[in-house]
Structure 1
Amino acid sequence: MGGVSSEGALEGSTRTPRAEDALKVIGSDEEAADRLHRLLEQALVFAGAAFAALYTPGEDPRLLRLADAAGVPHRMYGVRDVYPLSGDSPVAVAHRTRRPVRLGPDEPAGQAASRRMLPGGFSLTALPVPGDGGGCLLAGTGHPDGFGADARACLELIAEAVARPGAPVRAAEGGGLPPDAFRLAMDTGRVEVGDRILDLFGLDATEFDGKIETLLALTEPEDLPSLMSVVEAGHLSGGERELEFRVLRPGGPPRWLRLCGRLRPGGEGRPARLVGTVADTSTFRSDVTDVARIQRLAAALAAAGTVRDVSRALVAALRRPLGATRIALAGLENDRLVVTVLDPPAPEVWPEVWRTEWRTEWPDAPVRAMPTLAAALREGRARIWPAGGGALEPPLADVGPGALAVLPLSARGRVAGVCLIGWDGPHDFGPDERALLTASAGLAGQALTRARAFDAEHELVGMLQRQLLPRRLPELPGAVAVARYLPSTAGLELGGDWYDVIPLPDHHVALVIGDVQGHNAGAATLMGQMRTALRAYAVEGHPPDVVVSHANRLLVGMESDLFATCVYVDLDMEEGTAWCVRAGHLPPVLRHPDGTTQIPEVEGGPPLGVVAQAAFPMSPLRLRRGTLIALTTDGLVESADTDIDEGMGRLARELAAADPARLGPVADALLGSARRSDDVALLLVRYDGMALRPRRESWTVWRVPEAVRHARRFTRRTLRAWGVPDGDIDAVLLVVSELVTNALVHTDGPVRLDLTLLDGRLRVAVADSSPRSPARPTSVSWEATGGRGVLLVEAMSALWGTLPVSGGKQVWSEIALGR
């Protein structure tokens, strides 16, 4: 009887028959997306795959796009959502050749760009789906030998099941809908509609191309904002949604339709879908009503994120329908009226007191200058003056000399702002219009309160992120560094991209760039924690692989739902060598002095926070003077229509054409040419080499009675060989005696003395195995037998201090020679 292997798959003796039985249970009568996801899940059970994904040709025939995925998030292993059909990825090669493709850690040839992104010990297998244009099944495993024969047989069964009649090779090619029903894929905008809906839009089934944009183009333009609040995934929340809108008809009035829909959330790798019905309601309502205006305003406010967005939505919904001359939206801050939107925006259109209080882009008027307004805000009720505001104070009367409406914007019992609507001529307010104003004020008050909270959170997180990134980069001996950070253009959320330049002892410098998963306050906070952790481990003196390993274990121990990627480069400024460690991140790009570029084959480990005992191997980099190192996050090189390998190639070409003498303009040009929908961090470092190389000598201090004398003799001999005058040697010998004596008396283990001479400054450093730093005494009495050593070192040194070094410490002193 078969058991379970270490990879979680069934033993070969029973694996394939059981897979066949499981696939038979998944019938073709299931809904397309559900059936596809269940088929992919069988690859996890019977083939022992870590993840399985289906790629199919999309609207662009040059690309293969992800249709669905199951298992561990595929992006953790460098697998992307889109691959060029002409590329060398396993997905593209298998689809073109109609033959299986295997890519593993021991694969000697092919897919060089893809193998660069593949973590060590991980294997991929791509199988073509039978049939013309069926796509490709991609599965991955962490087993060092890849998929065995039985596992590959199971994958072939799954690929065949995907291609059977009724299987959803493309998510929008289903059928069998009721005449008044529709089904919309929120990620692609592909929609399936019943015949009755096509009749209502005046379309023939043979003419409809399956795009939601085709239907939106036939609707009344004024109704588009409310419709977009439903058909755009970013504006839709769970639960039922009901909406009325108009469809344009040639030679006749618009037809009113009612949409009733519900969002079905997607799972891991599965798109969300909006399903529902559309019915004709033209016979039940008049052509234009204030209900439609409220409906459109509610939809616009639902999509408004900031206070400025809320204000503009309310102005757009009220000024033209009401025929108003001017309208203003203002928030209340203490006792002042802070205006966010004025329409029209020209200052001369508004009252004199507003212009005198014009402080920034928008006016800032005191409420005490308008007691009638203050009273309306205290009451929280709309106030209307149909025949003009002549009896009111000038700041209000001049807003509406013919008619005036004051709408307090209240929510949760608190007035958040006010809307002022003015007419130059008399205006009669009917019952419907009064109801419209009251309803609009209630909706806008709630939206304004929500937007204020959003603005406050965004500003807080933005301030946090700005504080967590370096304010300025340090000056480096023998190198120049510049960095850039740009937030995403897709919205106001903040991400976790970061960079850092960390000066280390002995003219080393650590270059770091990383990216935390997600776009929120949690990602920004975790970014700061990771940057601080890497900096702390680096200055402790650990080698690069240990630094990254410590940060990984720290993130795992925090039990966060987020993970991070990073690249850490330890650069030796004296020798021009570097060690690179990659944790699920893009490798560096090197531009050599002759203009050629290189993307080095840097062996990588998994992202930080995924596996506690992961290995992060070090890869050597050799730099010549004038070499440019570029570190970036994937927001610069990847987008919805650009594969990451293609983006890395573009970055290398742009660096080859750049002038490395001017790093600032180079960084700006690289960011300016990026088609970004994600945060971008970029770090450029040009290695120039040190113009003056330091002299170094070291001495291992043995724990013998004559240890201090031997250390002094070594120091004197070394300084005379370097040509240091005898007048300076005595001061140096005193510092050496005190530091070595302190290490021998107060610590155990080995002691090392290092001497470094550079540009007239001598650095004396004594390293021991104790992490405890020497304490500076506050006072020393005349009869005390100890405690003067630190005071003597301080007196003889231009600078002195301690550094952590691999579990111990290094006490150092810098002495200016020739004083």
Structure 2
Amino acid sequence: MAALPLGPPGGGCLLAVGDQPGGFGPDDRACLELIARAIPVPAPAVAADTGELAADAFSLAMDTGRMEAGARLLRLFGIAPDSFDGRVETLLARTVPEDLPALMSVVEADHMTIGERELEFRILQPAGPPRWLRLRGRLLPRGEGRPARLVGTVADASTLRSDGTDVARVQRLAASLATAGTVQDVGRAVVAALRKPLQADRIALAELENDRLVVTVLDPPEPEAWPEVWRSEWRTEWPDAPVRAMPTLAAALRAGRTRIWPAGSALEPALGEVGPGGLAVLPLPAGTRMAGACLIGWDRPHHFAPDERALLTACAALTGQALLRAHAIDAEHELVGMLQRTLLPRRLPRLPGGTAVARYLPTTAGLEVGGDWYDVIPLADHHVALVIGDVQGHNAGAATLMGQMRTALRAYAVEGHPPDVVVAHANRLLLDMETGLFATCGYVDVDMEQGTAWCVRAGHPHPVLRHPDGTAEIVRCEGGPPLGVLDRAAYPMTPLRLRPGTVIALTTDGLVESPGLDLDTGMDRLARELAAADPGHLGLVADALLAGAQRDDDVALLLMRYDGMAVRPLRESWTVWRVPEAARHARRFTRRTLRGWQLPRDTVDAALLVVSELVTNALVHTDGPVRLDLDLAGHRLRLAVTDSSPRSPVKPAGIGWEATGGRGILLVEAVSAAWGTVPVSGGKQVWAELATGD
């Protein structure tokens, strides 16, 4: 057992227990001493006996920046106690500029949470090198009538620091690893903490997966800087290799202790060429398992001092735990991303006369799945609905509600409702669900034949249009409140005119609004970037627009370029009256129309059979109005009969020879290339398509 004092007398102690024979060796002792010196032990800022501020203590009011400081603390900064003006800026002005950002992160309340803080920094002196000081403090919450305060002590750290400033390196690495969210972040933190201070030529960090080492960070990253054996194992971005191919490394991992080989050591090429002038292998323990290994190599002969060995051992323990934590975070990120991908469209449909692309970026600020969504819905008569939305919150409830709202909007749109009714129905549904959440939504119904559109907004950012002449416009569409807020909300429609080459951009607020960017400024920037983009490559445009996203919120982006339909379909409609000769009137209308379109006789005959069957079924089995629509687009003739009954026709499984009905749908299926039904505003539409030839 080892017991090491922490801080000043009465500050506590560090106890370490080991079971290795012979107790703690010199390297272990040096490492424990290094860790003990790095552990923050704040001294009391206020003397317990007098209640006065201690000589080396301070008290900083976070709202005003006013500061009380002890006499000994002020002398460390070279300030006479009777001349101190009580402003924290006076002390900050004497800080070495490179250390000022780290110190500001401690004295600014916006970047802190309640709890302990420690930092080493340098101050300028009239002569000689900068002096190292150590700040230890605690942020205290607001009291009754008092602002939040940062209280603590500042002491001279010059005598506490080793020649290689190892304590500060351990502290800085620990601070970096505490915020590392991914395995790549861990690797970058280790490289930043060790390579330059140790003047190493290369560092590799690898995870241990079963019996293979999977490299996650190489510095430098160029393959030519690494042994030939490594280059032969380059699978994708980084190499991976079986541990058994490097027996020396395997032995170091089994022992679980830092191993150092000076220049000229007999090592297998895969290790020896990493550090011909010296090699350090740091196994990275994490609990009861080995998380990976870190290799540090030098090209010129390197002398390993005792303090350096202790530094490597301390860094290995910190890195192993951080690597295990980051691996778990990476796995959770992947799970969240997979859930998000299942809730969004797997692919966008091909559009007549246009192209659509979409992008989704989850936030990197946390692990919760977001509520942003998008959708592209093909509708009847060559209409397309572009939908984008954002559900309040970032949790499983928001994600579930997002999936429900996307499904509901698609169902209402396919039923044939106008855009304002679609959004109003979704608002009513969300209120009835009583989730307590709200959602914003943008809905644009585009007529691909005519080049017109109707836009409806429910508390969502405005759409942006990029015109064919290269100008971009933020379309100030009228809007209603977010979905789920008001029972009787109105959602007005705003008309849009599209020319061939026009790009419609719909986005959620994560792209155009952030803590440092207001919504209007973000929308203006989006318009400028869209105007500067090449609309011929819509996917590249989407990627460019997302390049500067802050990622502190989810981002959904939907772009559609309207090209215009090369051939507009021919379309005619007929209202079927409920009279005894209704089917004959429908056939006569169909024959006259198709002959005018100069279709072949066999196509006309098949169409007359289909129309006769569909119209008869509608008249016999439904009530209310019946409408017949004929559409010819290219070499496809579409025949559709709309009625007011929601019941779809069912194809009979079998018909006996004596049956007098039930053959109509079988005849339609036999002569058609395809047929089906779609819901339309409380009723249905039964359609069939015929090929008209080449």
Settle same-fold status: TM greater than 0.5.
Answer: yes
Report the Cα offset of residue 415 of structure 1. 1.7
SS at 1:301 equivalent: helix
> 1:513: which partner in 2?
388
> 1:480: which partner in 2?
354
> 1:305: which partner in 2?
181
CA contact (8 A) 2:625 2:643 kept: yes
Range 406-415 or range 554-563, more displaced: 554-563
Query: Equivalents in 2 of 1:394, 1:443: separation in Å?
Result: 29
Q: 1:715 and 1:693, CA in 2 relative to 1: closer, same or farther beyond 3 A?
A: closer
SS at 1:533 equivalent: helix
Report the Cα offset of residue 310 of structure 1. 0.8
Query: Equivalents in 2 of 1:622, 1:346: separation in Å?
Result: 52
Deviations 1:181-238 (A, max 9, x none): 22447xxxx85444557775557999998779x93982484x6786577568897555
Report the Cα offset of residue 648 of structure 1. 4.4
CA contact (8 A) 2:478 2:494 kept: no
Query: Equivalents in 2 of 1:206, 1:690: separation in Å?
Result: 79
Report the Cα offset of residue 585 of structure 1. 1.1
Pairing of 1:286-685 with structure 2 (within 5 A): 286-288=160-162, 290-322=166-198, 324=200, 326-345=202-221, 347=223, 349-379=225-255, 381-385=256-260, 390=265, 393-400=268-275, 404-422=279-297, 425=301, 427-428=303-304, 430=306, 432-465=307-340, 468-470=343-345, 473-477=348-352, 479-483=353-357, 485=359, 487=361, 496-517=371-392, 527-556=402-431, 563-590=438-465, 601-611=476-486, 613-623=487-497, 625-626=499-500, 629-635=504-510, 637-638=512-513, 643-648=518-523, 679=555, 681-685=557-561
SS at 1:459 equivalent: helix
SS at 1:457 equivalent: helix
SS at 1:772 equivalent: coil
Report the Cα offset of residue 657 of structure 1. 8.2
Pairing of 1:146-161 with structure 2 (within 5 A): none
2:135 to 244, 258, 268: 258
Deviations 1:739-764 (A, max 9, x none): 23333444455433323334453321
Query: Equivalents in 1 of 2:496, 2:224: separation in Å?
Result: 66
Range 755-764 or range 412-421, more displaced: 755-764
Query: Equivalents in 1 of 2:142, 2:354: separation in Å?
Result: 49
1:182 to 60, 74, 78: 60
Pairing of 1:759-798 with structure 2 (within 5 A): 759-798=634-673
Report the Cα offset of residue 621 of structure 1. 0.7
Query: Equivalents in 1 of 2:649, 2:345: separation in Å?
Result: 30
Pairing of 1:215-234 with structure 2 (within 5 A): 215=92, 218-219=95-96, 221=98, 227=103, 230=106
Report the Cα offset of residue 812 of structure 1. 0.1
Report the Cα offset of residue 687 of structure 1. 6.3
Deviations 1:229-266 (A, max 9, x none): 75688975553334444434342451423231237599
CA contact (8 A) 1:593 1:624 kept: no
Deviations 1:11-66 (A, max 9, x none): xxxxxxxxxxxxxxxxxxxxxxxxxxxxxxxxxxxxxxxxxxxxxxxxxxxxxxxx
Amino acid of the structure 1 residue aligned with 2:681:
S
CA contact (8 A) 1:367 1:374 kept: yes
Query: Equivalents in 1 of 2:471, 2:272: separation in Å?
Result: 71
Amino acid of the structure 1 residue aligned with 2:648:
S
1:800 to 668, 675, 686: 675
Query: Equivalents in 2 of 1:628, 1:653: separation in Å?
Result: 13
Task: Give percent identity, aligned residues only.
Answer: 64
CA contact (8 A) 1:473 1:481 kept: no
Q: 1:782 and 1:754, CA in 2 relative to 1: closer, same or farther beyond 3 A?
A: same
Q: 1:284 and 1:587, CA in 2 relative to 1: closer, same or farther beyond 3 A?
A: closer
CA contact (8 A) 1:591 1:598 kept: yes
Query: Equivalents in 1 of 2:611, 2:438: separation in Å?
Result: 47
Deviations 1:106-128 (A, max 9, x none): xxxxxxxxxxxxxxxxxxxxxxx
SS at 1:317 equivalent: helix
Deviations 1:72-116 (A, max 9, x none): xxxxxxxxxxxxxxxxxxxxxxxxxxxxxxxxxxxxxxxxxxxxx
Q: 1:410 and 1:741, CA in 2 relative to 1: closer, same or farther beyond 3 A?
A: farther
Aligned length: 625
Q: 1:300 and 1:675, CA in 2 relative to 1: closer, same or farther beyond 3 A?
A: closer
2:575 to 676, 679, 699: 699
Pairing of 1:135-174 with structure 2 (within 5 A): none
CA contact (8 A) 1:180 1:277 kept: yes
CA contact (8 A) 1:773 1:802 kept: yes
SS at 1:618 equivalent: coil
Amino acid of the structure 2 residue aligned with 1:617:
Y
Does residue 734 of structure 1 match 2:609? yes
Deviations 1:690-715 (A, max 9, x none): 7434221122352x555444443443
RMSD, aligned CA: 4.4
Deviations 1:496-540 (A, max 9, x none): 544433210012211223334456777666555543432232112
Q: 1:345 and 1:587, CA in 2 relative to 1: closer, same or farther beyond 3 A?
A: closer
Report the Cα offset of residue 586 of structure 1. 2.2
Length-normalised TM-score, structure 2: 0.76
Does residue 755 of structure 1 match 2:633? no
Report the Cα offset of residue 448 of structure 1. 0.7
> 2:155: which partner in 1?
281
> 1:813: which partner in 2?
688
Amino acid of the structure 2 residue aligned with 1:437:
L
CA contact (8 A) 1:499 1:682 kept: yes
Query: Equivalents in 1 of 2:97, 2:332: separation in Å?
Result: 36
Query: Equivalents in 1 of 2:605, 2:93: separation in Å?
Result: 88
Deviations 1:258-298 (A, max 9, x none): 231237599xxxxxx97312423217942435333221211
Query: Equivalents in 1 of 2:321, 2:356: separation in Å?
Result: 44
Amino acid of the structure 1 residue aligned with 2:207:
G
Amino acid of the structure 1 residue aligned with 2:492:
M
Q: 1:328 and 1:522, CA in 2 relative to 1: closer, same or farther beyond 3 A?
A: farther
SS at 1:776 equivalent: coil
Q: 1:353 and 1:725, CA in 2 relative to 1: closer, same or farther beyond 3 A?
A: closer
Query: Equivalents in 2 of 1:716, 1:723: separation in Å?
Result: 10
Q: Which runs of 5+ in 1 are unaligned?
A: 1-177, 267-272
Q: 1:662 and 1:257, CA in 2 relative to 1: closer, same or farther beyond 3 A?
A: closer
Amino acid of the structure 2 residue aligned with 1:797:
S
Q: 1:206 and 1:662, CA in 2 relative to 1: closer, same or farther beyond 3 A?
A: farther
Query: Equivalents in 2 of 1:415, 1:290: separation in Å?
Result: 24
Report the Cα offset of residue 364 of structure 1. 1.3
Q: 1:777 and 1:506, CA in 2 relative to 1: closer, same or farther beyond 3 A?
A: same
Q: 1:594 and 1:358, CA in 2 relative to 1: closer, same or farther beyond 3 A?
A: closer
Q: 1:668 and 1:780, CA in 2 relative to 1: closer, same or farther beyond 3 A?
A: same
Query: Equivalents in 1 of 2:216, 2:629: separation in Å?
Result: 64
Amino acid of the structure 2 residue aligned with 1:240:
E
> 1:73: which partner in 2?
none
Report the Cα offset of residue 388 of structure 1. 6.4
SS at 1:249 equivalent: coil
Q: 1:688 and 1:334, CA in 2 relative to 1: closer, same or farther beyond 3 A?
A: same
Query: Equivalents in 2 of 1:497, 1:651: separation in Å?
Result: 18
